[in-house]
C-alpha cells in the first residue's frame, strides 16, 4: 500500500487530499482547495491523467473548503463514484461548495474585465453551480462509530473530531494480501471542553497516523476568560444604546456565538437585545445545525429540547434579503449585527462598517483571525481611518477581540490526542501546518512519547 499527499503537506495548511493506493483500490481522503497565494491556486488544476482519475471512492473528514473544495473538479473530469461523509458534513459541504462556485464566478468576471483590457484570454472559473449539482447524487451517509466499507479491502470508521458540525477523524482499515493495517487521519481536530460541539474522540491503536498541526506551536487563550471579557465589552455598548458589529464566519462561530449569548441571557449576565443574523449563508448553516442537533454536546441538546434555546434567542432576527440588511442601518441601538465576511474582506459587513465606524457608540467585536493587510486588522490595530471601496472612513468606534473562539485544538489538546494513540507506537506524519508549527509539535512528540514524527513534502508518496 502507498499513500500520496496531494495537499496540506510541505508546510501547507490548505488543499487536504490523501490518496490511498492498494493492489485493488484507489481511495481519496478529502479533496480540499488550495487557498491563498497565486502559486497555490495553480495547484488547484487537477491532472487529467493518473490515479486521481481512477478513484473507487472518496471519503471526507469535514465540510470546510480546504477539505472539500476540489470535489467538483473530480465530477468535472468524469468521476461518478461514491463520496462518503457524515450527514451533517454532506449538508454543510453542499452549502460551502455552492458559495465557493458563486465566489469563483464573481472572481472570474472581475478578472475577465482586467484581462480583456490587456488583450488576454479570460480565466475560466474552476467549477460552476452545475458541477455542484452533479456531485449531489454521489454522496453516501457515513455513520459515526460504524465501520463503512468504501472499496475492496478498505473500510472506514468515523469518530467525532469536535471541529465543526459533522467533523470526523477517520480510522481506515486496509487489508491487502492477508495483512491488515490501521491508518488514522485526524482531519482537523477541535478543542476540548468547548460549548455546543462534542469533544474529539481519541484513538487507542494505529499503525500509521496522519495528524494536523495547525496550532502545534501554541495554546489558545482560555474560552471562558475571553468570553467574560467579550461579554463585558458587549454589555457596556448595549447599556449605552450602541451597536455591536460582529464580522463572522458563517459556519461554526456564528452558531457558537449565538449559543453563548443564549447562555448569558439565561443566566441574566446580559439583558436580551435585538440581534440580526445578516448573512444568508449563516442563516442556512444555522438551519443545518438545528437539523443535526443530536451532534451537540449534552448541555446544548438539553437547552434545545427544553425549548430554552429558542426562548433565550427570541430577540434574534434572520435577515436573508439585502433590503433587510439595509434597513438595519437606520435602526436605533442597542443592537448586534452578525454579518460576513469574517475578515472584513467583502460582504454585508462592509456597509455596516461604512455607516457606523464613525460612530463612537459602535463596538466592532472580532471573533476570528484578521489577516495582515485586511481592513479588520487595521481596525483591531487602532487605525483612525480605513479605506473601504476606495473611500476613507473615519474610525471612532471601539473594537474588542474575542480570541478564545478557535475551531482548532491548541498544542495541549493536540498532544493529548496523539498521547492516547502513542502507546501503540504508530508511524506519525504531521500535515496541515506550517513548518514552524510542525517542527515544534514534532519536538514535543519526541520528548513526551519517544516517537519520531515525519514532516512529508507536497506530492510525497509513503510506502506502508
Ligand atoms: Zn477545518
pLDDT category, 1, cuts 50, 70, 90? very high
- Expressed in angstroms and rounded, the spacing between residue 129 Cα and the centre of ligand 1 is 22
- Read off the pLDDT of each residue in 372-391 and give the average, rounded to a whole number: 91
- The cell for 392 is 476613507
121 pLDDT more than 80 = no
- The cell for 277 is 443574523
- Expressed in angstroms and rounded, the spacing between residue 21 Cα and the centre of ligand 1 is 25
- Expressed in angstroms and rounded, the spacing between residue 444 Cα and the centre of ligand 1 is 23
Quick one: which of 155, 233, 221 has its CA closest to 194?
221
In the three-class reduction of DSSP (H, G, I as helix; E, B as strand; rest coil), residue 401 is classed as: strand
- Read off the pLDDT of each residue in 358-382 and give the average, rounded to a whole number: 91
Average pLDDT score, the chain: 93
- Expressed in angstroms and rounded, the spacing between residue 27 Cα and the centre of ligand 1 is 20
- Expressed in angstroms and rounded, the spacing between residue 97 Cα and the centre of ligand 1 is 14
- Expressed in angstroms and rounded, the spacing between residue 190 Cα and the centre of ligand 1 is 9
Question: Residue for cell digits 461579554?
Answer: 231
pLDDT of residue 37: 61
- Expressed in angstroms and rounded, the spacing between residue 363 Cα and the centre of ligand 1 is 28
- Expressed in angstroms and rounded, the spacing between residue 437 Cα and the centre of ligand 1 is 17
- Expressed in angstroms and rounded, the spacing between residue 189 Cα and the centre of ligand 1 is 8
- Expressed in angstroms and rounded, the spacing between residue 377 Cα and the centre of ligand 1 is 22
- Expressed in angstroms and rounded, the spacing between residue 48 Cα and the centre of ligand 1 is 27
- Expressed in angstroms and rounded, the spacing between residue 42 Cα and the centre of ligand 1 is 21
pLDDT of residue 335: 98
- Read off the pLDDT of each residue in 294-308 and give the average, rounded to a whole number: 94
- Expressed in angstroms and rounded, the spacing between residue 251 Cα and the centre of ligand 1 is 10
41 pLDDT more than 80 = no
- The cell for 80 is 461518478
Helical (H) or strand (E) element with 133: helix 129-135
Q: Would you say 184 and 198 are in contact if contact means Cβ atoms under 8 Å apart? A: no
Q: Would you say 109 and 57 are in contact if contact means Cβ atoms under 8 Å apart? A: no
- Expressed in angstroms and rounded, the spacing between residue 188 Cα and the centre of ligand 1 is 5
- Expressed in angstroms and rounded, the spacing between residue 23 Cα and the centre of ligand 1 is 31
- Expressed in angstroms and rounded, the spacing between residue 36 Cα and the centre of ligand 1 is 15
- For the stretch 78-117, pLDDT in tens is 899 999 999 999 999 999 999 999 988 887 887 787 777 7
- Expressed in angstroms and rounded, the spacing between residue 272 Cα and the centre of ligand 1 is 32
- For the stretch 409-454, pLDDT in tens is 999 999 999 999 999 999 999 998 889 999 999 999 999 999 999 9
pLDDT of residue 13: 81
Residue 344, phi-psi category: left (phi > 0), alpha (psi -120 to 50), beta (remainder): left
pLDDT of residue 40: 66
Model pTM?
A: 0.92
- Read off the pLDDT of each residue in 42-63 and give the average, rounded to a whole number: 85
- Give residues whose Cβ lies within 5 Å of ion ligand 1: 64, 188
- Expressed in angstroms and rounded, the spacing between residue 170 Cα and the centre of ligand 1 is 14
- Expressed in angstroms and rounded, the spacing between residue 119 Cα and the centre of ligand 1 is 39
| Those residues with Cβ within 8 angstroms of residue 251's Cβ, 6 or more apart along the chain or in another chain | 63, 64, 92, 95, 96, 164, 165, 281, 282, 285
Q: Would you say 418 and 211 are in contact if contact means Cβ atoms under 8 Å apart? A: yes
224 pLDDT more than 80 = yes
Q: What domains appear along the chain, each with residue ranges and CATH number?
A: 2-218+407-463 (3.60.15.10), 223-401 (3.40.50.10890)
Amino acid at each position: 500500500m502507498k499513500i500520496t499527499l496531494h495537499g496540506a503537506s510541505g508546510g501547507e495548511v490548505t488543499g487536504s487530499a490523501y490518496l490511498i493506493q492498494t493492489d485493488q483500490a484507489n481511495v481519496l481522503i478529502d479533496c480540499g482547495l488550495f487557498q491563498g497565494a497565486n502559486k497555490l491556486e495553480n495547484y488547484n488544476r487537477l491532472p487529467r491523467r493518473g490515479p486521481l482519475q481512477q478513484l473507487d471512492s472518496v471519503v471526507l473528514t469535514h465540510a470546510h473548503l480546504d477539505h472539500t473544495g476540489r470535489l467538483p473538479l473530480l465530477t468535472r473530469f468524469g468521476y461518478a463514484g461514491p463520496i462518503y461523509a457524515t450527514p451533517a458534513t454532506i449538508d454543510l459541504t453542499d452549502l460551502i461548495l455552492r458559495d465557493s462556485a458563486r465566489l469563483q464566478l464573481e472572481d472570474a468576471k472581475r478578472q475577465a474585465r482586467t484581462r480583456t483590457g490587456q488583450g488576454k484570454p479570460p480565466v475560466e472559473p474552476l467549477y460552476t453551480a452545475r458541477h455542484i449539482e452533479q456531485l449531489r447524487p454521489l454522496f453516501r451517509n457515513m455513520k459515526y462509530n460504524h465501520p463503512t466499507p468504501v472499496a475492496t479491502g478498505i473500510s472506514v470508521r468515523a469518530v467525532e473530531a469536535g471541529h465543526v458540525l459533522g467533523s470526523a477523524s477517520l480510522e481506515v482499515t486496509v487489508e491487502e494480501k492477508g495483512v491488515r493495517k490501521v491508518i488514522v487521519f485526524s482531519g482537523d481536530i477541535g478543542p476540548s471542553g468547548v460549548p455546543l460541539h462534542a469533544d474529539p474522540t481519541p484513538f487507542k491503536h494505529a499503525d500509521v497516523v496522519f495528524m494536523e498541526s495547525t496550532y502545534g506551536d501554541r495554546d489558545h487563550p482560555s474560552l471562558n476568560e475571553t468570553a467574560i471579557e467579550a461579554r463585558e465589552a458587549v454589555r457596556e455598548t448595549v447599556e449605552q444604546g450602541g451597536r455591536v458589529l460582529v464580522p463572522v464566519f458563517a459556519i461554526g462561530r456564528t452558531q457558537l456565538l449565538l449559543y453563548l449569548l443564549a447562555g448569558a441571557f439565561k443566566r441574566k449576565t446580559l439583558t436580551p437585545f435585538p440581534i440580526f443574523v445578516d448573512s444568508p449563508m449563516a442563516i442556512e448553516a444555522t438551519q443545518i445545525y438545528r437539523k443535526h442537533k443530536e451532534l451537540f454536546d449534552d448541555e446544548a441538546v438539553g437547552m434545545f429540547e427544553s425549548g430554552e434555546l429558542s426562548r433565550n434567542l427570541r430577540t434574534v432576527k434572520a435577515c436573508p434579503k439585502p433590503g433587510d440588511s439595509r434597513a438595519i442601518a437606520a435602526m436605533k441601538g442597542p443592537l448586534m449585527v452578525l454579518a460576513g465576511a469574517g475578515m472584513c474582506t467583502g460582504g454585508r459587513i462592509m456597509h455596516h462598517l461604512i455607516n457606523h465606524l464613525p460612530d463612537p457608540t459602535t463596538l466592532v467585536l472580532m471573533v476570528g483571525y484578521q489577516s495582515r493587510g485586511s481592513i479588520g486588522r487595521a481596525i483591531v490595530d487602532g487605525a483612525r481611518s480605513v479605506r473601504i471601496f476606495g473611500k476613507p472612513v473615519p474610525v471612532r468606534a471601539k473594537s474588542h477581540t474575542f480570541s478564545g473562539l478557535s475551531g482548532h485544538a491548541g498544542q495541549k489538546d493536540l498532544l493529548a490526542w496523539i498521547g492516547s494513540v502513542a502507546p501503540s507506537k504508530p508511524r506519525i506524519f504531521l500535515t496541515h501546518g506550517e513548518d514552524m508549527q510542525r517542527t515544534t509539535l514534532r519536538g514535543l512528540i519526541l520528548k513526551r512519547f519517544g516517537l519520531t514524527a515525519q514532516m512529508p513534502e507536497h506530492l510525497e508518496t509513503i510506502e506502508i
